[in-house]
Amino acid sequence: IAAFGTATESLAILNSGTMFKRNGKKDPELIQNVSEGLKKLYKTKLFPLEDTYHFHDFHSPALEDADFDNKPMVLLVGQYSTGKTTFIRHLMEQDFPGMRIGPEPTTDSFIAVMHGEQDGLIPGNALVVDPKKPFRKLNAFGNAFLNRFVCAQMPNAVLESISIIDTPGILSGEKQRISRGYDFAAVLEWFAERVDRIILLFDAHKLDISDEFSEVIRSLKNHEDKMRVVLNKADQIGTQQLMRVYGALMWSLGKIVGTPEVIRVYIGSFWAQPLLVADNRKLFEAEEQDLFKDIQGLPRNAALRKLNDLIKRARLAKVHAYIISSLKKEMPNMFGKENKKKELIANLGEIYTRIEKEHQISPGDFPKLAKMQEILANQDFSKFQAVKPKLLEAVEDMLANDIAKLMTLVRQEEAAMPSQSVQGGAFEGTMNGPFGHGYGEGAGEGIDELEWVVARDKPTYDEIFYTLSPVNGKVSGALAKKEMVKSKLPNTVLGKIWKLADVDKDGYLDDEEFALANHLIKVKLEGHELPTDLPEHLIPPSKRGL
């Protein structure tokens, strides 16, 4: 409640300044959340710039309220039979309307799997006229695409927090791309701008990256921060082959993505069937847990993602305005317009360089040169606008001041809703109980046993303890240190172990505490993390009454 109050106060302050005005007057309406703030910023400061310089014809359609209000979305992309649809079914632990699974190319449509009170399918043409859904601008891709786009609605706990987009399996060859009847890569790029996570699926059993898949990955180039890779069906091969496949995948992705950063790859078998080769079971469990944590964090980070995407869009809109106004400035008033237009398009690279130097803009903020030249060829340069400083200043002010205020608000919203995460389905399977990740391992060993787990090795530890000549049944820190440093663990780790083992905080270790210290050293040497606080099952029997 306190956090919410603070957030509300911040919103009132945010709105009382010069952030949102209409006709020079302060807008009295109180902004309720980050989403409302983003909508107002976009409509009052960024949209006018986009509209003036035909941004929507070149890059991305205008944003609508649903784009700011919708739940986080996860986009699944991969070649046919990599397990995309099965992955969705695994997450939800439930079939969804329109689902088809098989070794052959089965999913031939884009399927938006979303929450609804009843099971049902909404066809694409009906979907793009629904103002509550964030898909209205997809009507630009025409009937060829809309006939291959549906929304599967169903009541499911997972879908209360996120929506999932299933995509057609990617095949190889130029023929397949042409036969779709719509620009597949462009549709994926449209989704990539609006989703919170892009998951690329590969089949470990038959790793292949076709030409169309390479093109798709390149079209997602500006969204590497959203991309994760899943090497699925990894239980079908042994450890040695898996290492080779993983290496081949990383090499291939490095060539396609072309960035020095390594994309995170999750290895596993994402379905509810027995493992064929169980050699790497623990690896698969750890990888699945990491991926689940990543997906579960999406609702909590949704506002920050929308803010980040708006900043990226604003930077591109600014550069676009400079490009368009430069082209307008170079055009003659009367004769030779067509020849000048061709000349300007051919020399667009030089215009980029000039704008870059004149306005100190990073080369990475410019749109792709070839794509820009292709679109400019069909534009009427006479309709372009000259530079309008007020529109550019409004966007500059948004980036310099308003975004910083909203960033503070994002943190306050996160603090007010700390427990917001994806629940239900497969996310519940390993939450608690003996099949939770790491249960009964490391510091958790012996958690559900009646006997103190340290007692198993205590006779060995006692032999060492009595060689240290304890006084009144205890050894000092200096004596214990001589023995503990033999583990070669850093002093920072040994210091933590000392604090955990000295249960009664008297600065000495008795035989039980000494045994506990050695047990914790063994836990750390086996590669497990130390607990922040000593678990109840590790407290020595004589100290449990303290």
3-class SS at 440?
coil
User: Which segments of the chain belong to CATH 1.10.268.20?
Assistant: 34-62+306-405
Question: Which position has the higher pLDDT, 427 or 29?
Answer: 427
**Domain 34-62+306-405: CATH class, spelled out:** mainly alpha
pLDDT band for position 131 (cuts 50, 70, 90) = confident
Measured N-to-C along each axis, helices 239-257 and 211-219 cross at an angle, to the nearest 10 degrees, of: 60
Give the model's pLDDT for residue 395: 92
Return d(Cα 477, Cα 112) in angstroms, integer.
Answer: 62
Whether residue 126 contacts residue 149, with contact meaning beta carbons closer than 8 Å, is answered with no
pLDDT band at 6 (very low <50, low <70, confident <90, very high): very low
* Residue 37 confidence class, pLDDT cut points 50, 70, 90: confident
The β-bridge partners of 197 are 74
Assigned superfamily of 73-297: P-loop containing nucleotide triphosphate hydrolases (3.40.50.300)
What pLDDT is stored for residue 333 in this prediction? 75
Whether 5 shows a pLDDT value over 50: the answer reads no
Q: Model confidence over 461-476: pLDDT tens digits?
A: 999 999 999 999 999 9
Averaged over 41-60, what is the pLDDT? 91
When the pLDDT of each residue in the chain is averaged and rounded to a whole number, the result is 84
Cβ 393 vs Cβ 14: under 8 Å:
no
For residue 147, pLDDT beyond 60? yes
Judge contact between 92 and 159, C-beta under 8 A.
Answer: yes
Q: What is the pLDDT of residues 259-290, one digit of tens each?
A: 667 788 999 998 878 888 888 888 888 899 89
Using pLDDT thresholds of 50, 70 and 90, give the confidence band for residue 155.
Answer: very high
CA 95, 98, 101 angle in degrees (round to 5)?
Answer: 65
Q: Which of 93, 136, 79 is nearest to 112 (CA)?
A: 136
**Above 70 in pLDDT, residue 89?**
yes
* DSSP single-letter state for residue 170: B
Domain with CATH 1.10.238.10 in the chain: 442-538
pLDDT digits (tens, 9 = 90+) for 397-407: 998 888 888 88
pTM value > 0.85: no
Residue 223 is predicted with a pLDDT of 85
In this prediction, residue 48 carries a pLDDT of: 94
Fold designation for 442-538: Recoverin; domain 1 (1.10.238)
